[in-house]
Amino acid sequence: MNDSREIIIFDTTLRDGEQAPGCSMTIGEKLKIAHSLKELNVDVIEAGFAAASPGDFDAVSTIASEIDGPTICSLARCNESDIEKANEALKPNKNRRIHVFVATSEIHLKHKLNMAKDEVLKAAFEGVKMAKSFCENVEFSPEDASRTDHGFLTEVVDAAIEAGATTINVPDTVGYTIPYEFGELFNHLIKNCTNTENVIFSVHCHDDLGLSVANSLAAVESGARQIECTINGIGERAGNTSLEEVCMAIKTREEYFDFQTSIDSTKLYPTSRLVSSITGMHVPRNKAIVGDNAFAHEAGIHQHGMLRDSSTYEIMKPQDVGIARSNLVLGKHSGRHAFLDRINDLGFALEKDEIDPAFEEFKKLADRKKEIFDTDIEAIVLNADIANMSRWSLLDLETSSGSSWGSTASLKLKDSDDKIIERDNHDDPASGPIEAVFNIISDITGYALELVNFEIHSVSVGDDAQGEVTVTVGYDGQNYRGNGVSTDIIESGALAYLEVINRIERNQAKH
């Protein structure tokens, strides 16, 4: 058993996280997240699956070229072409890892791979060997390990170690296992596999039963020394182990676990906000660590205790996870310096070319809103770069509604060639202002979208609070989400709908 107390944090937001429905990202967005993961100090970034598409290849290659520090990894199936592509994409970085996988459970062998056990054993051995010929650092995953016969799993892991794997990752691919059982599986593998002394055992969990963090912690207690996880727990179906939850469990209960990670916990909240804004995937209010309510106290008895001593009802401080909210309010007369200082204090960083547009947005907002809170500033920062990468922007919007006659709207959009298109529905009122606005946007952009969900929530406080609208639409068999923020919720809806269309176009440009 490896007796190090250091847990390697392997982030797969850009690979397994991106596989979540509607979470597809462009290369620029992935690079921005990769920079943020570096700041967070993760040990390994799984940048993608290079062989999956030319866009994935470019994303891995760009991240490998630009991110210096964490190990950069690409996933590959156990075949020549995948492994060569992974190697090619990772080449620019000295600190690289190839991650090969093959499914091992009866169910997958029979229904997915149509392979016999000895063929899988051979594929695992040959796959690791080939990856090893390119790169010293090789990870192997027996997919669906938690539903694989223990005897066969031991044989496959032995083969991977013999071929040179340096990390053996044990995935609970379908989120089926439970903590005690999974801990026992790690005990079994570490005890029964050969030459495990120089190998790191790793855990990779999915959250179908809401047990991914508990299962990951059980694995660590049984000898795993790497945890694979994603920001906000995004990933296939119910998602993956949430990085912020598992890392804060280890940190907050250090006296119990006696493990450490390299994570700078004060960067958790800004990274979570960035990922949520880029993917359009909302963090639920009650989400542990980074949800809006994670540090909110409503009940009088709790508030009373908190005022006396925060430890009565808080096991972590908001500042520990980078929630640096203050009562400091900015407004119309606040200058550029104060604005940039506040962004810095909130843990965000703007690129040079993002500063001017963000400050302009701040000034525009200050004209419409007396007091600008931290959440307002966050919304400006998180939208600054997205606006830069978008084809369509909203120049003007007017609506008029009456309960007896319906709703009309008139819109002015600009495309990336600076062409201005103006349209209205005055001759054909819709049943509500949102419907009117969405129909006109669809008409101008040429996208007929199926509206799947529409949510509104308030970003800040007060009568003039900004409202954030999240729109989910179906297009071409895929779901896309977009957010829009404004003091006018109809405008938020228009911005969210446009963001969805921009996202679809960015996604199409990627493929």
Residues between 105 and 134 that touch Zn ion (CB under 5 A): none
Whole-angstrom Cα distance, residue 254 to residue 242? 18
Quick one: 238 or 338, whose CB is closer to ligand KIV? 238
Strand order in the sheet with 450-458: 450-458, 467-475, 478-486
Quick one: 167 or 486, whose CB is closer to ligand KIV? 167
| By the rule CB under 6 A, 139 interacts with ligand KIV | no
Quick one: 71 or 141, whose CB is closer to Zn ion? 141
- Assess contact for 162 and 197: CB atoms under 8 A: no
Residues touching ligand KIV, count (CB under 6 A):
9
Q: Which stretch binds ligand KIV (CB under 6 A): 165-173, 219-227, 348-356, 387-395?
A: 165-173
Structure tokens at 435: 């419907």
101 binds, among ligand KIV, Zn ion, none (CB under 5 to 8 A by kind): ligand KIV
Strands 393-402 and 406-414, bridge-based pairing: antiparallel
472 binds, among Zn ion, ligand KIV, none (CB under 5 to 8 A by kind): none
| By the rule CB under 6 A, 173 interacts with ligand KIV | yes
Residues between 1 and 40 that touch Zn ion (CB under 5 A): 16
| By the rule CB under 5 A, 378 interacts with Zn ion | no
SS3 track for 47-113: EECCCCCHHHHHHHHHHHHHCCCCEEEEEEECCHHHHHHHHHHHCCCCCEEEEEEEECCHHHHHHHH
- Assess contact for 396 and 509: CB atoms under 8 A: no
- Assess contact for 78 and 44: CB atoms under 8 A: no
Put residue 399 in one of left, alpha, beta given phi > 0 → left and psi -120 to 50 → alpha: beta
Q: For 203-235, b where at least 16 C-beta lie within 10 A, e where not — what string?
A: bbbbbbbebbbbbbbbbbebbbbbbbbbbbbbb
277 binds, among ligand KIV, Zn ion, none (CB under 5 to 8 A by kind): none
Contacting residue, 24, 74, 104, 141, with ligand KIV by CB under 6 A: 141
141 binds, among ligand KIV, Zn ion, none (CB under 5 to 8 A by kind): ligand KIV
The amino acid sitting at 57 is F
Contacting residue, 171, 270, 484, 493, with ligand KIV by CB under 6 A: 171
Q: Which stretch binds ligand KIV (CB under 6 A): 167-175, 244-252, 257-265, 351-359?
A: 167-175
225 binds, among Zn ion, ligand KIV, none (CB under 5 to 8 A by kind): none
Give min distance, CB of 19 to Zn ion, in A: 8
End-to-end CA distance of the chain: 44
| By the rule CB under 5 A, 172 interacts with Zn ion | no
| By the rule CB under 6 A, 11 interacts with ligand KIV | no
Quick one: 101 or 438, whose CB is closer to ligand KIV? 101
139 binds, among ligand KIV, Zn ion, none (CB under 5 to 8 A by kind): none
Structure tokens at 356: 């001017």
Residues between 66 and 105 that touch ligand KIV (CB under 6 A): 101
- The count of residues in the chain is 511
Site residues (CB under 5 A) for Zn ion?
A: 16
Site residues (CB under 6 A) for ligand KIV?
A: 16, 101, 141, 143, 169, 171, 173, 204, 206
